[in-house]
Amino acid sequence: MKRVGIVILIALVFTSCKIFQVQPLQVEDLVIYPPPPDTVRIQYLTSINNSIDVKGRRSPFIDFIIGKETPMGVISPLEISSTGSDLIICDNMIRGAELINFEEKTFEYFIPKGRGKLIQPVSCELDSLGNLFFVDKKRKQIVVFNKTDKGFKYKTAFGEKEDYEPYDILAFKNRLYVPNTKSRKIDVYDGTNFNFLFSFPNEKTKGDGKFIMPKYIEGYGNNIYVPDFIANTIKVFDLDGNFIRSVGSIGTFPGQFARIKDIAIDKDENLYAVDAAFGIVQIFNRKGQLLMFFGGQNGNSGDMILPRAIYISYSHNKYFEQYVDPAFKLKYVIFVSNQQSQNKVNVYGFVEEKN
């Protein structure tokens, strides 16, 4: 045992005590959207597939001494949530989530047991109070965990007894908005005690304000945005569920959707909508006008294969600036999960040209 300890000590000395050498994935060719001569808005930066992409690769000498490491992988990423330097990826295959901290360079699995055991988690959301919500389609419940110094601990679970099939959750304005695919409505709960408040659309809502299958949800300002998976349109409501307008329509032309999934909204109120049929994200302005799209299914870097979730972050810039082309300045980061791709979570940057 002493001899083994001496060998490891020598190895650490020769590697300057750096067990992990950060070797981020490099993009061989610059991937930008839209292509020249249009003004570049999006750059594909890298992808997150396993623990090595987060904490770096160990030096070859250490691998030789103690054996090659087996990375922890992102398996089947669904929803993405975040706070600060953290990134939480809901993963149905592990019945939990990958917890990533870019500041500490940590990657771990969160697989709850006991009363908090998940069966079929399809979405997750972290609120400002440290509550982590999992939407469990099989349990037909929202399972809640609270963040402590020792990690996330089970807190409670809630849901309706009848006509309940939750699919996503939005913690917004001290309320919880949950798309219910069974009742074809959005169920609204108090964000503190989780008591049921009301559902929408109500019986007074007509025409485009009704849902065929609401699955995903996002909020911005005083509005709630809900993609209808079957109607392939995004319906906009106020906080109390009054219908305002629709964005997009079913079809295969730009500005239309064939298999709409998750959505996100930036600080300029631009709407990002994932379309799994074409492997792209379309961007609309606040008036619902199409601005551009990025992604594709051509086998190139930055492509998407069955993209599912999108998340916009203004707090992760410093962790990904190393990938940005010197001609650009990074404004914010865009994460997109892929369900059938070797690149599990694509990372893009919204960029602007330097003066």
What is the per-residue pLDDT across 337-352, written as a single tens digit (0 to 9) for each? Answer: 999 888 999 999 999 9
294: left (phi over 0), alpha (psi -120 to 50) or beta: beta
Instruction: Provide mean pLDDT across the span 299-313.
Output: 94
In a domain, residue 312? The reply is yes
Does a structural domain hold residue 82?
Answer: no
- 55 within a domain of the structure (yes/no): yes
Residue 280 lies in a domain: yes
Is pTM beyond 0.85 here? yes
pLDDT tens-digit map of 30-44: 999 999 899 999 999
In a domain, 77, yes or no: no
pLDDT of res. 55: 84
| Mean of per-residue pLDDT scores for the chain | 89
Distance CA(96)–CA(174), nearest Å, equals: 25
| Region 198-222 average pLDDT | 92
Percent of the chain clearing pLDDT 90 (strictly above): 78
- Do the beta carbons of residue 198 and residue 164 sit within 8 Å? no
Q: Which of 46-60, 248-262, 301-315 bottoms out in mean pLDDT, i.e. has the lowest?
A: 46-60
Task: Please tell me the predicted confidence (pLDDT) of residue 28.
Answer: 52
Q: Which domain does 354 fall in, by range? A: 1-71+252-355
Predicted pLDDT of residue 125:
97
On whether residue 33 sits in a domain, the answer given is yes
How many other CB atoms are found less than 10 A from the CB of residue 103?
11
pLDDT given for residue 260 in this prediction: 97
In a domain, residue 180? The reply is no
pLDDT on residue 244: 95
Torsion of CA 270, 271, 273, 278, to 10 degrees: -40
Q: What letter does residue 113 receive in the DSSP assignment?
A: -
Of 66-70, 186-190, 249-253, give the range with the top mean pLDDT: 186-190
Mean pLDDT of 321-336: 97
Q: b/e map of 80-100 (b: 16 or more CB within 10 Å)?
A: bbbeebbbbbbbbebbbbbbb
Q: Report how far residue 252's alpha carbon sits from residue 75's, in angstroms, rounded to the nearest whole number.
A: 30
Q: Flag whether 197 is in a domain.
A: no
* Beta bridge partner(s), residue 81: 88
Which has the higher per-residue pLDDT, 59 or 310? 310
Number of domains in the chain: 1
Say how many Å lie between the first and final Cα of the chain, rounded: 60
